[in-house]
Each structure stands twice: as structure tokens, then as C-alpha cells.
Amino acid sequence: MKTATVLLAVTICLACSCAVFAADAPSLNVSPKTIEMGTFFDGATLTATGTIPQDSDVVLRFVGQECEVPMKHKGKVFGVMWMNLDSLVIKKVPGVCLISSCTGIGDRNGGSSSDAGTLGLAGIRHEAEIECNGSNGDDVFDEFLKLKKHEGLYREMVGNVSYKPAGDGFKTFTAQIPVPAKLSPGPYRLEMAVLKDGKITKRMGADVDARMVGLPAMLANLAFKRSALYGILSTLIALIAGLGVGLVFQSKGAH
């Protein structure tokens, strides 16, 4: 009887300590976990919430899978004609990288030379590999960043993370993360980095899936799984559209 009582007391103590530890640990939640891309998909907004220590800051990164990006280096030949001078490939870069923070990444975390500096878009350069012949790698990467920013797939957002005190040395955060309409279907990840004095003290992540629904999903299924039927339907639609345009212009010409 005494042994059972002791075991029960130990179990209760362990459960309580685990509950306290869980309450004190940083946390991350994201909603929705699935981005549905229908016919009129015009982007989405992710809501990230969680808890971090009171004396820390958080940086969130919505990133896609690593990919290879082929590019052409253009320049003037004999100072007159613009031509492709070199072909190059940028490797080990995320297809999407959307960064969110309360303030500038280097403002409160030791500057760009600290761990925090690796979380910004400039930090991607350290991981990227550039295969080129004769071109300046840094100049090429700068142009790559400009292209991705123009597409809306790379972005640093400041001020879309807000904090509220939670007590017991912790605070909660909420972030609204806009996702662009150019997003491709596939797996993504929302990464969280907890920073204190410019050092990363904790990393966490949550998976987010982007998938086609409705008409886009049906067309993609036809194109990849029933290519013959897709080709026939595409031809019929093109013929009907051409016939319709011809009838419209013929009727206008009759008047």
C-alpha cells in the first residue's frame, strides 16, 4: 500500500513538473495549416501565435523548399548590343522567403553581424552556391534578390509582429504574414527563431501545405495524369474560342 502511494505521489510530481516546463517553454502555432489555392486565389494571410521569454524577440520566416534557379547574365558586346554573356545557376536558395519581425532584425539584436543577421535576406547569401564563369557572384546574387523581391516571393516585413505580456517572465506574440498569389503548390515551413542579445536561443517550426483545389486542381490532375484527354479538351476549347471570336468579328463587319 505504501509503495503504491509513493509511486502515485512521484507520478503526480512528474506530471506537474512537465506541465510547468511546457508552460514555460517557447511555443508556436500557425493558422491555417493548409493554404487552398482555388480559381480566384489572390494570396492568403497566415496568423502565427506563440509564447517567448519576456527579455527576448522573435523572428519568423515562411520558407519554401530549396531549389536551383537558372539565370542569364546580360551585357553589352562592343559597347553596342545587349546579349547573353553567361549562363549561371544559383543553388541552395529557398523558393520563398518571407521574414517577419517586430523591429528591424539588426535593431535590437546586436546588428547584422550577430546571429540575427543570418535570419535576413542577406543571410541567404552565405548558404547559396553560385555556378558561373567569370561573373561576379555577389553582383549576380544582388540581381537575384531584386528579381525575387519584385515577384513578391522574398520580403522582409517589419512591424507585423506584436507582443503582449503573459506573466511569469513570458510574453505572447501575434503575427500576420501575407502570402503572395504567386505561391506554388507544395510543402512550406514557418520557422521561428527566439533571440536574446543577438543570439539565437531557440528554434522551432511548423509545417504549412499549399495545395490546389477546385478547377485548378482538376486541370492539373488532367494535365499530369490524363494528358491525352487534357490535350483533346484543350484543342476543343481553342477551336470553340476561335469560332466564337470569328463570329463576333463577322457580325461587327456585317454592320
Whether 130 and 220 share a structural domain? no
pLDDT at 109: 46
Q: Does residue 17 fall inside a structural domain?
A: no
Which of 1-10, 72-81, 120-129, 216-225 ranks highest by mean pLDDT?
120-129
pLDDT at 79: 62
pLDDT class for 221, splitting at 50, 70, 90?
confident
Q: Does residue 15 fall inside a structural domain?
A: no
Give rounded-to-5 percent helix, strand, coil for the chain: 35, 40, 20
Whether pTM > 0.85 for this model: the answer is no
Whether 168 and 222 share a structural domain? no
Q: Does residue 226 fall inside a structural domain?
A: yes
pLDDT at 64: 95
Distance of CA 131 to the CA centre of its chain: 24
Name the strands in the sheet holding 199-212, side by side, starting at the edge strand that comes first in the sequence: 34-37, 199-212, 186-196, 57-64, 97-101, 154-158
pLDDT class for 243, splitting at 50, 70, 90?
confident
**Mean pLDDT, the chain, whole residue set:** 81
Overall domain count for the chain = 2
The one-letter code for the residue type at 9 is A
pLDDT at 211: 94
Whether 219 and 206 share a structural domain? no
pLDDT at 161: 95
Q: Find the domain containing 80 and state its range.
A: 26-211
